[in-house]
A = this chain, B = another copy of it.
Amino acid sequence: MNTAAKRPLTLRDVSDACGVSEMTVSRVLRNRGDVSEATRSKVLAAAKELGYVPNQIAGSLASQRVNLVAVIIPSLSNMVFPEVLNGINQVLEDTPLQPVVGVTDYLPEKEERVLYEMLSWRPSGVIIAGLEHSDATRAMLSNAGIPVVEIMDTDGKPVDAMVGISHRRAGREMAAAILKEGYEHIGFMGTKMPLDHRARKRFEGFTEGLAKAGIEIEDRAFYSGGSALAKGREMTQEMLERSPDLDFLYYSNDMIGAGGLLYLLDQGVDIPGQIGLAGFNGVELLQGLPRQLATMDACRIEIGQAAAKIILNQTMDTPDPDLPNQVTLTPTLSFGDTLRRRRR
């Protein structure tokens, strides 16, 4: 094993070390073409002995093939996105493709920068969260000449492929479920994030759903920053002081919902009798609360898997033309212990 490599080793070094042409060394290292078992093992031994690590930069330039998949997401703190990544990883695990993650912080300009940066590495595909992008971003995506999958959301028109759920519908269905249980005085709490289009669409769907029954949200509040659990507590307290007649609270995510739940249990409020609660996402994290919060699963893993499969399919020599490239998954509503009202 080489102990002090200042200059990284090249194929040339391996070639010299074992007396086999660079070309053949290259073939051995990539398992390409027929190489006699004798030379093969000679080369492998030399490469290992030297501690040779191939230079993918040179390799990719020569072969015009890059085994990277750009994955662009708004955040890593949200738990939702790491789970999507897990789905992607699962599918790409035993393939030559490798995901490379970029984070946008929900900022369109940063999304643009990150995408540009990643495209300059000429990846084999792009998986990007959301359907709303700047014109420049959309242009880059459609001109890149590689498969593009927009994920998480299906309320809109994709550049190429699309995998996700309808957040608008999710909001509507939650509204319907709440009304069906007999709740009528509804408050909403969410993040103050004009650029979180999925949260916005859920909210819109929700108000639509209520409107069909002639009902309006009676109070609402938005937060930004800080611990979601703590915010859920605070906001719930404030809202109920302001609007004591509310009998249902819909939270835009499970974490603030959990904060609200803990607060109300502290206060000895009867849940779901006096007040019902629901969140969104179905984060496994929260199993283990004193009561299970009603929520709607966002199909994160499945989304990641389906997106990765679409990219993978396109990189194959003979892509399956039947693999759908518009996938709408259906989130399931779990009632938990906070939505089924005991009849009065």
B54 engages A120 (CB within 8 Å):
yes
With a cutoff of 8 Å between Cβ atoms, the chain B residues found around residue A58 in the complex are: 61
How far is A255 from B286 in the complex, measured between Cα atoms in Å?
Answer: 10
Q: Which positions 72-90 of chain A face chain B at CB distance < 8 Å?
A: 76-77, 79, 82-83, 85-86, 89
B288 engages A227 (CB within 8 Å):
yes
A117 engages B98 (CB within 8 Å):
yes
With a cutoff of 8 Å between Cβ atoms, the chain B residues found around residue A287 in the complex are: 226-227, 229-230
Among listed A4-12, A157-165, A272-280, A306-314, interface-contacting one: A4-12
Chain B, Cβ-Cβ closest to A110: B93
How far is A55 from B57 in the complex, measured between Cα atoms in Å?
Answer: 11
B53 engages A61 (CB within 8 Å):
no
CB of A227 to closest CB in B, whole Å: 4
Among listed A137-145, A204-212, A319-327, A336-344, interface-contacting one: A137-145
How many A residues touch B, CB cutoff 8 Å? 61
B57 engages A122 (CB within 8 Å):
yes
A228 engages B285 (CB within 8 Å):
yes
A229 engages B8 (CB within 8 Å):
no
A317 interfacial by beta-carbon distance below 8 Å: no
B77 engages A230 (CB within 8 Å):
no
With a cutoff of 8 Å between Cβ atoms, the chain B residues found around residue A55 in the complex are: 120, 122
A34 interfacial by beta-carbon distance below 8 Å: no
B77 engages A86 (CB within 8 Å):
yes
- Which of B121, B142, B230 makes the CB contact (< 8 A) with A57? B121
A130 interfacial by beta-carbon distance below 8 Å: no
With a cutoff of 8 Å between Cβ atoms, the chain B residues found around residue A66 in the complex are: 57
Q: Which positions 219-259 of chain A face chain B at CB distance < 8 Å?
A: 226-233, 255, 259
B57 engages A2 (CB within 8 Å):
no
A316 interfacial by beta-carbon distance below 8 Å: no
With a cutoff of 8 Å between Cβ atoms, the chain B residues found around residue A230 in the complex are: 287-288
A38 interfacial by beta-carbon distance below 8 Å: no
A333 interfacial by beta-carbon distance below 8 Å: no
With a cutoff of 8 Å between Cβ atoms, the chain B residues found around residue A144 in the complex are: 5, 8, 53
Q: Which positions 128-153 of chain A face chain B at CB distance < 8 Å?
A: 139-140, 142-145
A285 engages B140 (CB within 8 Å):
no
A37 interfacial by beta-carbon distance below 8 Å: no
B5 engages A145 (CB within 8 Å):
yes
With a cutoff of 8 Å between Cβ atoms, the chain B residues found around residue A226 in the complex are: 287
Chain B, Cβ-Cβ closest to A85: B76
Extra contacts, 9 of them, besides A5-B144, A76-B85 (Cβ < 8 A), are A3-B142, A3-B143, A51-B139, A51-B143, A53-B120, A227-B288, A229-B289, A232-B288, A255-B285
Can you list 20 A-B contacts (CB < 8 A)? Answer: A8-B122, A53-B119, A53-B120, A54-B120, A55-B120, A56-B122, A57-B57, A57-B66, A58-B61, A61-B61, A76-B82, A89-B103, A100-B101, A101-B101, A227-B288, A228-B285, A229-B285, A229-B286, A229-B288, A262-B290
